[in-house]
């Protein structure tokens, strides 16, 4: 019985040698000890090699072991390469000494010669690789052009297709990093960084993220983020959405050093640089404006060409288009402002301001409230409280108002407070002054202080330097037009005689002087005394009575006149007696 006929019956067979048959059906197990199995071609040499396919592992100089070649001419050139696996026609076709490679698919790792530790899965995957090591390509023509680039990872249809020498790239998604020749790029998502050429160190995550990037170094995360960026560099965009309309940095082309975080942030930016946008649609419409910072939902939404703006808070500077050098902090701050160089800090601060420029608002004053309207005015400073009430105002003429929205009587500084002192001036240095009144005039009288009362101001007194007499005059209004005369002073001498002058000193003083006691004097001359005896302040401290001694001058004058009349009469009597 021939060996071929021996294979035809049903008994177990143990055959030594070479068997050639036209067809073989095995119902059970086939064991090959110490030999090889081949389909067409020659038996491979070396140790523990498996070849299935015409001319697979057929190099007569093969010394490498533990190789597996399945497919026509797979690993046909391998000599000393070992522990390679090739599945597919002409997979690892040119491999000679490369080891530890895995190729699955037609022409996968086709050109590889000495490269090792590569994995190629898919038709033409890493087809052009020659000497490069440690690449992984999964997908049709993934890493197709790679020759010497190492440490690359490609997963998806034609990912990293053009890359030849670039290293340390990661591409996952349909044609991501398709034109890449650079290194250290990461593209995750269909068409991510598809147009990148020589640029390195880019990161793009999301469908078409960084799609048009060629030479820039950017980071884009989200669908369509940075899609149109071409040569712009050092951009960071995070936040994509399905339609691509409100995608972060969607239309950026050559703008650089921009940072956008949030859907729609800097979506329409084209060539502008150095912008920072954080929040949904922050700086969405910015096109060429540069060095803007917008943080918050819709912050700086409609800014187009304005630059050097800072908007922090939702809806801040939302309607500003071309204004520059604005700084606003707080939700709705400067929402309708279109001017430039404004500073608004506080929720709704400057909310109503429109075309006004170079205004500064601290607090919640909106620009048109509580009797003050600066919507179109410029160069104003307003300090307001949490309810938006203006507390301190410095207008565009440099006039300051405290506690009022108007400049009082044309003064440079106006202070108003209901129910308490309007201003207190204090120092803790003995040789200095709590206040200095300085009048620079060199002719005529020099005014220092003016005292007025009533809503329609009535002048009550003043402190003036009387240049003619060379003294500081402490004046009380005495114009006849301000008085109603009821008659002469009578009984003046008796009134004066009822006054009780004392010699004493003020507490804390060192020198005795003549003085009156206020409450005693009030009983005689009430017009000279202010306050009540033993009165207390709200905190329990004494509320001292005060006196204006100058009000006693008319009384003393009248007393002297009465006394002089008496003297004159007595002198006349003496003269008459002496002449008798």
* Residue at token pair 């002719």: 443
Which has the closest alpha carbon to 120: 149, 93, 143? 143
* Residue at token pair 């565009």: 396
Whether the Cβ atoms of residue 44 and residue 74 lie closer than 8 Å to each other: no
Consecutive H or E run containing 451? strand 446-453
Whether the Cβ atoms of residue 286 and residue 304 lie closer than 8 Å to each other: yes
Query: Which residues, listed in sequence order, are joined to residue 513 by a DSSP beta bridge?
Result: 504
The strand pair at 372-373 and 170-172 is best described as unpaired
Q: How far apart are the first and last CA of the chain?
A: 201
Give the pLDDT confidence score for residue 1 in this predicted structure.
39
Give the pLDDT confidence score for residue 434 in this predicted structure.
83
Query: Cα–Cα distances in Å, from 245 out to 225, 281, 282?
Result: 10, 11, 14
> What is the C-alpha separation between 309 and 392, in angstroms, rounded?
25
The strand pair at 153-155 and 343-345 is best described as unpaired
Give the pLDDT confidence score for residue 36 in this predicted structure.
56
> What is the C-alpha separation between 102 and 88, in angstroms, rounded?
11
* Residue at token pair 């020498």: 165
3-state secondary structure 100-143: CCEEECCCCCCCCCCCCCCEEECCCCCCCCCCCCCCEEECCCCC
C-alpha Rg value of the chain to the nearest Å: 50
Which has the closest alpha carbon to 218: 202, 229, 230, 207? 202
Main-chain phi, psi angles of 384, to 5 degrees: -125, 170
CB neighbour class for 138 (10 Å; exposed up to 12, middle 13-18, buried from 19): buried
Helix, strand, coil % (nearest 5) of the chain?
A: 10, 20, 70
DSSP string of 308-352, one letter each residue: S-EEESTTTTTT-SS--S-EEESTTTTTT--SSS-EEESTTTTTT
**Which residues are CB-neighbours of 88 under 8 A, at least 6 positions away?**
70, 71, 74, 103, 104, 105, 106, 107, 108, 123
Whether the Cβ atoms of residue 19 and residue 6 lie closer than 8 Å to each other: no
> What is the C-alpha separation between 501 and 390, in angstroms, rounded?
50
Which has the closest alpha carbon to 266: 233, 236, 308? 236
Assign 466 to helix, strand or coil.
strand
Assign 555 to helix, strand or coil.
helix
Whether the Cβ atoms of residue 374 and residue 351 lie closer than 8 Å to each other: no
Assign 353 to helix, strand or coil.
coil
> How many degrees, rounded to 5, is the angle at CA 453 between CA 447 and CA 458?
70
> What is the C-alpha separation between 97 and 114, in angstroms, rounded?
5
> What are the structure tokens assigned to 489, written together?
């002073």
Find the length of the chain. Answer: 580
* Residue at token pair 């048109």: 368
3-state secondary structure 503-550: EECCCCCCCCEEECCHHHHHHHCHHHEECCCCCECCCCCECCCEECHH
Whether the Cβ atoms of residue 132 and residue 118 lie closer than 8 Å to each other: yes
The model's pTM? 0.74
Tens digit of pLDDT at every position of the chain (580 positions): 344 445 555 556 666 666 666 666 666 666 666 555 555 555 688 899 999 988 999 998 999 999 999 999 999 999 999 999 999 999 999 999 999 999 999 999 999 999 999 999 999 999 999 999 999 999 999 999 999 999 999 999 999 999 999 999 999 999 999 999 999 999 999 999 999 999 999 999 999 999 999 999 999 999 999 999 999 999 999 998 777 677 899 899 999 999 999 999 999 999 999 999 999 999 999 999 999 999 999 999 999 999 999 999 999 999 999 999 999 999 999 999 999 999 999 999 999 999 999 999 999 999 999 999 999 999 999 999 999 999 999 999 999 988 888 876 677 787 777 777 777 788 888 888 888 888 899 999 998 898 888 878 889 999 999 999 999 999 999 999 999 999 999 999 999 999 999 999 999 999 999 999 999 999 999 999 999 999 999 999 999 999 999 999 999 999 999 999 999 999 999 999 988 7
């Amino acid at each position: 019985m021939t060996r071929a006929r021996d294979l035809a019956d049903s008994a177990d067979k143990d055959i030594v040698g070479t068997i050639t048959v036209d067809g073989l059906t095995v119902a059970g197990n086939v064991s090959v000890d110490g030999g090889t199995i081949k389909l067409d071609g020659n038996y491979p040499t070396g140790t523990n090699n498996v070849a299935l396919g015409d001319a697979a592992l057929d190099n007569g100089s093969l010394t490498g072991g533990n190789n597996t070649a399945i497919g026509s001419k797979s690993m046909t050139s391998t000599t000393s390469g070992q522990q390679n696996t090739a599945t597919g026609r002409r997979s690892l076709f040119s491999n000679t000494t490369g080891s530890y490679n895995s190729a699955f698919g037609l022409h996968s790792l086709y050109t590889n010669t000495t490269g090792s530790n590569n994995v190629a899965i898919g038709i033409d995957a890493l087809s052009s690789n020659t000497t490069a090591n440690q690449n992984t390509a999964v997908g049709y023509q993934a890493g197709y052009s790679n020759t010497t680039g190492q440490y690359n990872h490609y997963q998806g249809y034609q990912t990293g297709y053009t890359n030849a020498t670039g290293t340390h790239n990661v591409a996952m998604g349909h044609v991501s990093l398709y034109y890449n020749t650079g290194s250290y790029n990461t593209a995750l998502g269909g068409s991510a960084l598809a147009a990148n050429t020589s640029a390195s160190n880019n990161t793009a995550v999301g469908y078409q993220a960084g799609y048009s990037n060629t030479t820039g170094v950017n980071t884009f995360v989200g669908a369509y983020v940075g899609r149109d960026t071409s040569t712009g560099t050092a951009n960071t965009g995070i936040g994509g959405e399905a339609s691509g309309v409100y995608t972060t940095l969607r239309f950026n082309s050559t703008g650089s050093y921009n940072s956008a975080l949030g859907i729609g942030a800097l979506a329409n930016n084209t060539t502008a640089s150095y912008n920072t946008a954080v929040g949904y649609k922050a700086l969405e419409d910015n096109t060429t404006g540069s060095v803007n910072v917008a943080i918050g939902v819709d912050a700086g939404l409609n800014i187009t060409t304005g630059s050097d703006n800072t908007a922090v808070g939702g809806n801040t500077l939302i309607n500003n288009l071309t204004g520059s050098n604005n700084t606003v902090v707080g939700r709705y701050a400067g929402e309708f402002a279109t001017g430039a160089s404004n500073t608004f800090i506080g929720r709704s601060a400057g909310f109503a301001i429109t075309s006004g420029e170079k205004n500064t608002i601290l607090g919640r004053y909106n620009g048109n409230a509580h009797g003050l309207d600066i919507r179109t005015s410029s160069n104003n400073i307003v300090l307001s409280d949490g309810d938006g009430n203006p507390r301190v105002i410095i207008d565009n003429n440099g006039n300051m108002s405290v506690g009022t929205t108007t400049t009082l009587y044309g003064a440079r500084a106006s202070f108003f407070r209901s129910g308490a002192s309007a201003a207190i001036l204090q120092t803790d240095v003995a040789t200095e002054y709590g206040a200095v009144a300085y009048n620079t005039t060199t002719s005529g009288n020099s005014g220092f202080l003016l005292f007025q009362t009533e809503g329609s101001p009535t002048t009550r007194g003043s402190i003036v330097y009387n240049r003619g007499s060379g003294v500081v005059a402490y004046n009380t209004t005495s114009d006849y037009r301000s008085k109603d005369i009821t008659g002469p002073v009578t009984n003046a001498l008796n009134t004066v005689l009822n006054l009780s002058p004392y010699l004493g000193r003020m507490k804390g003083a060192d020198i005795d002087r003549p003085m009156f006691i206020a409450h005693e004097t009030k009983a005689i001359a009430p017009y000279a005394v202010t306050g009540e005896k033993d009165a207390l302040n709200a905190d329990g401290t004494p509320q001292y009575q005060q006196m204006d001694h100058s009000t006693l001058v008319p009384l003393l004058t009248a007393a002297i006149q009465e006394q002089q009349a008496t003297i004159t009469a007595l002198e006349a009597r003496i003269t008459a007696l002496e002449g008798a």
